[in-house]
Amino acid sequence: MEGLPRVQTSAPDRDFKKAFAEALPPLTAQEAMVEANRCLFCFDAPCTHACPTHIDIPRFIKKISTENLLGSARTIFEANLLGATCARVCPVQELCEGACVLGKEHKPISIGRLQRFAMDRIAGRERTAIVLAASTGRHVAVIGSGPAGLSCAGELARRGHSVTIFEKRTLAGGLSTFGIIAVREPIEIALAEAQMIQSLGVKIETGAELGGNLSLADLQQRFDAVFLALGLGSTPALNIPGEQFIEDGLHYVERSKLDPANISRGEKVVVIGAGNTAIDCATIAKRLGAAQVTMVYRRSAREMTAYPHEYDFVKKEGVEIRFLTQPMRVETHDGHVTGVVCIPMELDPSSAGRALARPSGGPEFFIPADQIVKAIGQQKPGLAAMLGLQTNGGFLRVNEHFETSLPGVYAGGDCIRAKNSASTVMAVQDGKLSAAAIHERIMRQAHG
C-alpha cells in the first residue's frame, strides 16, 4: 500500500513459490482413483444438495473412477463453470464434504481435491467440455469479472449470447485473482479461469469502471441486459489514532499474490479481525517468516466469522488469537510501528443474536508489533446510490430473479449478499441463476 512506511524491504530471499504453495498438493492419478472408488455413489446425494451450485458430485467422481475425465469435467461445468476456483476455495467442510455420508464414522470423500483433479486434467482444453448454443444475436454487459461476473458471462455465452465483461482493474478474476491467498488459490488458476470464460466467446474489457468511464445508462442503451457483479467496497476505517500506520488486509493479500518480493514483512505482526481474510493475512505474515503473529478480535471465538476449519488451520500455522481485545491506538517511534494499545472487552449478555462486545473496564495493555494489518470486513457496495438502485441493508436489492429495481439490470454475488451469506460458490450460483433469468427475459423480448 503506497505511502505506508516499509518495515523491512528485502530482496526475494526465500522461495515465495514454496512459501505460498497450495496448502494441499494435487492428487496423483493413483490417489484420485483410490479416492474416487471409495465414493459410494449415493443416490440423490447429500453432497450435491449441500453444494450451492448442485454439482452432480457422485457422477463426476464416478467418471474419474472410470477414467472418463472429459465427462467428469463436463459434469462439473454443467453446474459450475468456475469448478477450478471452487475446488480450491470452497469451504468444503461446511458444504459437500460436510454432508458426505461417510463423514459420520469414516473420512468423507475428498470431493474438493477430486474436483480439482478433474479441473486440472481439463486445464487448457475446457472448451471441449462445454457446448455452446448457436448465436442469438443478443448482447449482455457484465460489470465485474469476479466469480459472479465470470459465471454469469459464461452461462450466457453457453446460451449463445454475446457477452462483454467490464472490469475496472487491469487483471480479470476479481476476488479469485486479488483476494484469495495463494496458499488456497494461485493467481495463475484465477487468470486461467478468466481466459477459459473468454474462450467461450466472452469479451473482457479491463480498465472500464462503472461510474468512471462507463455509465449505466449508456450500457442499458447498448446492451439487451446488464448484470452487476460489483463485489464489495474497501476495508472500513477503525477510527483509532495511528490508523495511517495500519496496512489494509485486502492490499496485503493482493500484494502477496502479485508482488510477494516487495511485500512489507514484519517480525511481530498484529492482525486485527477474525474473519477469513484476517486468517489469510495472518497466514501470509507467518509464511513470510514473522516470528510472532497475533490476531486480535473484540469478541469471542463463538462470534468469529472465520470457518472452524480456517481457525484450525491458522492455529496450526502457529498464530496466536487474542479474543475480547479491542485495539485503541497504534504506537510508533520515528515513524515505525512499535505496537498497539488495546483494552479488554466483555460480551454484552443483553445483546440479541450475535453477542456484542463492550469494554470490560480492565486496564489498557500493549502488544508489541512492527506491522499491523486490519481485516475487519468490507464496506457495502458504494455504487448503489449513484446508480439509483434500491438497496436492502446496504446491499443491492434484487427480486427472486436477481433483477434490481431497474428492469433489465440484474445483480449477483457479494454485492447482493448480506454478511455471512457470501462466498465464491454462492457468487457462482448467483451468476448462473441470473444468467438463466436474463436469458428468459431477452429471449422473451426477442420473440415478443
Kindly tell me which of 135 and 399 has the beta carbon lying closer to other proteins: 399
* d(C-alpha 53, C-alpha 426), whole Å: 7
Report the interface residues with other proteins, using CB under 8 A.
33-34, 37, 40-47, 49-52, 54, 65, 93-95, 98-99, 101-102, 104-105, 429, 433
Shortest Å distance, C-beta 95 to other proteins = 6
Kindly tell me which of 114 and 165 has the beta carbon lying closer to other proteins: 114
Kindly tell me which of 235 and 429 has the beta carbon lying closer to other proteins: 429
* d(C-alpha 16, C-alpha 197), whole Å: 29
Shortest Å distance, C-beta 34 to other proteins = 6
Shortest Å distance, C-beta 96 to other proteins = 8
Kindly tell me which of 21 and 307 has the beta carbon lying closer to other proteins: 307
Shortest Å distance, C-beta 103 to other proteins = 9
CB neighbours (10 Å) of residue 383? 17
Kindly tell me which of 104 and 333 has the beta carbon lying closer to other proteins: 104
Kindly tell me which of 43 and 302 has the beta carbon lying closer to other proteins: 43
Tell me the residue length of the chain. 448
Shortest Å distance, C-beta 87 to other proteins = 17
Residue 184 C-alpha cell reads as 488456497
Shortest Å distance, C-beta 93 to other proteins = 8
CB neighbours (10 Å) of residue 200? 18
Segments of 264-388 assigned E as strands: 268-272, 292-296, 320-322, 325-333, 336-348, 356-359, 365-368, 371-374
Shortest Å distance, C-beta 410 to other proteins = 16
In sequence order, which ranges of 240-399 are alpha helices (DSSP H)?
249-258, 276-287, 308-316, 383-387
* d(C-alpha 181, C-alpha 193), whole Å: 16
CA distances from 270 to 161, 184, 191, 279, 368 (A): 48, 22, 31, 11, 8
Of 102, 96, 94, 93, which Cα lies nearest the Cα of 83?
A: 96
Shortest Å distance, C-beta 42 to other proteins = 4
Kindly tell me which of 324 and 437 has the beta carbon lying closer to other proteins: 437
**DSSP secondary structure code for residue 326 in this structure:** E
* d(C-alpha 434, C-alpha 355), whole Å: 35
Q: Which residues pair with 342 in a beta bridge?
A: 327, 365
Kindly tell me which of 75 and 264 has the beta carbon lying closer to other proteins: 75
